[in-house]
Amino acid sequence: MAGTYRLQIVTQAGVKFDDRVESLRASGVEGWFGVRRGHAPMIAELAIGEVFTRKTGEAEREFCCGGGILEVTYEGVVILADSIEEVCDIDLERARAAEQRARERLRTHQPDVDIDRAEVALARAVNRLKVAGKVR
């Protein structure tokens, strides 16, 4: 495993991924970046977007990420994600319903609606639909 490193993906619900990978590509708030073994330590803010991982000899895996923080250390990479799911696990009906709810909250302008939260919910739902739509 000379060219691999440990990748952990964690959410509030627990560990979503913990394995050795040879590469990772992620959508950061400042643009796309990649990580391979030996990468310099860094911390990056992840955008609502995609994360791709590749294990040696296997096809690339795609995740739909709802934002978070990625840290590269000499020991490996840890992603603390607000939400993340593998693309093959996305429930399209649930994503469509979340998009519709968020759009409705934004459209009605009710005083008790947290606009920032509704906008983030909409962005996450649209991202899930976009990412899932590319592979289905």
CATH number at residue 35: 2.60.15.10
Is the domain of 37 the same as that of 67? yes
pLDDT at 6: 97
Is the domain of 9 the same as that of 63? yes
Is the domain of 33 the same as that of 82? yes
Q: How many domains would you assign to the chain? A: 2
Is the domain of 110 the same as that of 83? no
pLDDT at 127: 82
Is the domain of 70 the same as that of 9? yes
Whole-prediction pTM: 0.82
Kindly report the backbone phi and psi dihedral angles of residue 77, in degrees, each rounded to the nearest multiple of 5, phi listed first.
-125, 135
CB 53 within 8 A of CB 63: yes
| Count of all residues that appear for the chain in the document | 136
| Residue 19 amino acid letter | D
CATH number at residue 117: 1.20.5.440
Range of the domain at 131: 91-135
Neighbours of 104 (CB within 10 A): 12
What's the rounded Cα separation, in Å, for the pair 75 and 41? 10
Q: How high is the mean pLDDT in each 10-residue block of the chain (136 residues)?
A: 88 95 96 96 96 94 95 96 90 86 82 79 84 67
Is the domain of 42 the same as that of 54? yes
Is the domain of 50 the same as that of 14? yes
pLDDT at 21: 97
Distance of CA 1 to the CA centre of its chain: 25
pLDDT at 134: 63
pLDDT at 136: 47
Q: What are the beta bridge partners of residue 54?
A: 23
| Residue 105 amino acid letter | R
Is the domain of 74 the same as that of 103? no
Is the domain of 11 the same as that of 76? yes
In 13-131, the DSSP E strands lie at 14-21, 23-28, 31-36, 42-54, 61-72, 76-81, 84-86
